[in-house]
A and B are shown apart, each in its own frame.
Chain A
Amino acid sequence: MPSIWVYSEVQSVALELVRAGLQLKQATGWSLVSASLGADALKRAEELAEHGVDKAVAVSGAVFEQFDAEVYAKALAKLVGSEPTLVLVGGTKRGKELAPRLATKLDAGCVTDCIELSYKDDMIYAKRSAYGGVAIATMVSPLPLVVTIPPRKFEAAEKAAEKGSVEQVSLELPGPRVKVVEVRKKEVARAKLDEARVIVSAGRGVKAKQDLEMLRELAELLGGEVGCSRPVAADRGWFPQWIGLSGVKVKPDLYIAVGISGALQHIAGIRDSKIIVAINKDPEAPIFKVADYGIVGDLYKVIPALKNAVEKAVRS
C-alpha cells in the first residue's frame, strides 16, 4: 500500500502538513507517516504522533545540525524508500530547495507551491499558480510524487484520539559539502502579514525610509500592519519580507497598495484580499485594474489626507 509522508523543518508547518495528509488519507486509505530530522527529532515526532500520523519517524544526528538540502534529501530518500509514495514537504524556502532534490533521488515528479490536492484513479491532482500567477494549473502525476505546500495553507492538525507509533531510526550519512560560515538575522521585525486584517503596503513610490512612518500611522489607525513590494524589502532592505508570488501571500479584509505599480508577481500575492485599494500617481498603473477603489494622486498628499479622513470617521 502506498504511503503519504510529511516533512517540514518547521514544526508548526509539519503539523499543517499532517492535516493535509489526513485529508488525503481519508480519500485514499493510504497510511500517513511523518519524518523529523535533527535536534529534538524525537520530541517533534512524539508531537506529530499525537496529532494523527500513523507512524512518526525520528532521525537525529550531528549531520542535521545545519540544514543542507543535499543531506536532508538523502536522509528522506532513505526513509521513504522505493515504495510508491506521496511526499508532502513544507513550502518554506528550505523546503522548496529540498523537494526537487528529493524528487530527483526518488525519480519522481514534483509540484511546488501546491494550493489544493486531490486523488482520483491512482493519480494525484495538484493545483498551483501558472504563467507568472495569471492562471491556475492543475497538475497530474502518478506516484511517486513530491509536493510542497506553502506554510499556513492548512490549519494545524488537531490532537488525535489515538496516538500513532514513534520509531527512532539511525542513518549513515555523509556530512554537508556546503559550509555555513555566517548567519545574519534580518534586522527588521517580521510582521504577521498573513494574519493581518488590514495591510498598508509600500512600493517603490515611497521614496525614503522615514516616509514609512506615515504608512505605519495609517496602518495603526486601521488596526493593521505595514507590508511592501519585493524591491522595497529585497533591494532596499526596509523589511525582512515582501508580499507577492515569491514572498508572503496575504488575505486581509483591506489591502492598501501605496506607490505600487501592480506587477503580476505582486498581484499574485494579494488576490485573496477582500478589498484592494490603490494609491498611485500614474493613472495607467496596472494596479488600478485589480483594485476595488483607487485614488490617482501623489501618495505624499493622499496618505496624510487619508489619515485625517479615517481619524474623522472613526471618531464619529
Chain B
Amino acid sequence: MPRVIACFKYSIDASELRIDPSTRKPVVEGAKRKTGDIDKRAIEEAIRVKERTGWTATGLCVGPQAAREAAREALAMGLDEVYILSDPAFEGSDTLATARLLAAAARKLGDYKLILCGEMALDGLSAQVGPRLAELLDLPQVTYVRKLSVEGEKLTAERDLEEEYEVVEVELPAVVTVTREINEPRLPSLRDILRASKKPIVYWGAGDLEVGADVVGEKGSKVKVADVYAPEVKRKGVIIEEKPAEEAAEELVKYLLQEGVLR
C-alpha cells in the first residue's frame, strides 16, 4: 500500500517555557512539550490525503519515549500508525542527524508517495528538516505549501512566497512542507481517542534503523548549542485601564510626546 508520511516533532512549548531568573536560561528539563502547531497541520493534511486516496497514513517522530502522548493524539486525529524514533543514541541530534533518522525510517517503511513536514517546528524554528530529508531521499521538494491536491501520481501545490503565490506540479514521490494556513487540524472526539488506543505505536531504536552510529545523536551532529539565554524584556508596562477612550487616548499621547516618538 502506498503511504503518506507526516513527520512531526514533540516540541517544547515555548509559551510555557520557564526562564531561570538568575541565569536567564530557559529551564528545558521537564518543560511542557507538544506537537507544534504547524506539524499538526502536516498530520491533518496526511489524514486528508489518506481520506482521498486510501493510502496508509503514517506518522514519524524523532523524540523521547514520552512522545507517545503526541503519537496518541495523532492517531486519534486519524493517522493509521506512528513510529517514534527514540534511542539514547539519538539524543542531541541536529537537523542533519534528525533528517538522517527520518530518511532511514522512510526507507525501511518503503512505498512512500508523499512526505509531509511542517514548515518549521515550534521550538527550534530551523525550517531545515524538510529540505534535508528531500535531499537524503533524492526527492523533489515543495516548500511553504498552503494548499495541495493529489491526483494519481501528481501533486499540485500552492506555495506562499513573499511576493507571490506559486502553483507547482510534481510527480510523486515528493517532500512537502506545509504552512500554518493549509488547514485547521481536527479535534478528535472521545470515540476517536478510544478507537485510536488500538492503533500501533512502534518504537524504533538504533538497532532498527540503517544509519551509522557516528552520524546521529550529539556525536554525529555538526552544529551544537554553545549557549542559550533569554534576553530580559525591559518595557515600562504603563497600562491605562478603565478610562473612557478619549481620556485614555490623551493620556497615551502625553506619554508618547514625552518619549519623543511623535513628530
Give A residues with C-beta under 8 Å from B: 69-70, 73, 92-94, 96-101, 103-105, 107-113, 125, 129-142, 145, 176-186, 190, 198, 222-223, 230, 234-235, 240-241, 245-246, 253-254, 263-264, 271, 274-277, 283, 288-298, 301-302, 304-306, 308-310, 312-314
Contact = CB atoms under 8 A, between A and B. Distances in A.
B252 A137 contact: no
Contact of B132 (A103, A222, A245, A296): A103
Contact of B125 (A73, A132, A296): A132
Contacts of A283: 239, 241
B207 interface: no
Contacts of A70: 134-135, 140-141
B239 A310 contact: no
B236 A293 contact: yes
Contacts of B156: 181
Interface residues of B, number: 86
Contacts of A234: 146, 160, 179-181
Query: Chain B binding site: helix, strand, loop or mixed by DSSP?
Result: mixed
B163 A186 contact: yes
Of residues B95, B124, B168, B261, which shows the largest number of chain A Cβ atoms within 10 Å of its Cβ?
A: B261
Given A96-B127, A109-B94, A305 B245 contact: yes
A308 B249 contact: yes
Given A103-B96, A104-B132, A186 B164 contact: yes
Interface string B88-119: 00000011100100000000000000000001
A181 B149 CA distance: 14
A292 B131 contact: no
Contacts of A113: 125
Interface in B120-164: 120, 122-132, 134-136, 140-144, 146, 156, 160-164
Query: Chain A binding site: helix, strand, loop or mixed by DSSP?
Result: mixed
A258 to B, nearest CB: 12
Nearest to B144: A93
18 contacts: A70-B134, A100-B131, A101-B135, A104-B99, A104-B131, A110-B126, A141-B222, A178-B140, A186-B164, A275-B256, A275-B259, A276-B235, A292-B238, A295-B239, A296-B239, A306-B253, A309-B246, A314-B262
Contact of A296 (B142, B181, B241): B241
Contacts of A292: 235-238, 259
B235 A295 contact: no
A178 to B, nearest CB: 5
Of residues A99, A107, A139, A277, which shows the largest number of chain B Cβ atoms within 10 Å of its Cβ?
A: A139
Contacts of B136: 104
- The 8 A-B pairs with the shortest beta carbon distances in the complex, nearest first, are A132-B14, A109-B222, A109-B223, A100-B128, A305-B249, A301-B245, A104-B135, A182-B167
A291 B120 CA distance: 27
Interface string B206-237: 00000000000000011111111111010111
Given A110-B128, A292-B236, 20 more contacts: A97-B131, A100-B131, A104-B131, A108-B96, A110-B132, A131-B123, A135-B19, A177-B140, A181-B167, A184-B164, A190-B163, A234-B180, A246-B120, A275-B256, A289-B233, A292-B235, A305-B248, A306-B253, A313-B257, A314-B263
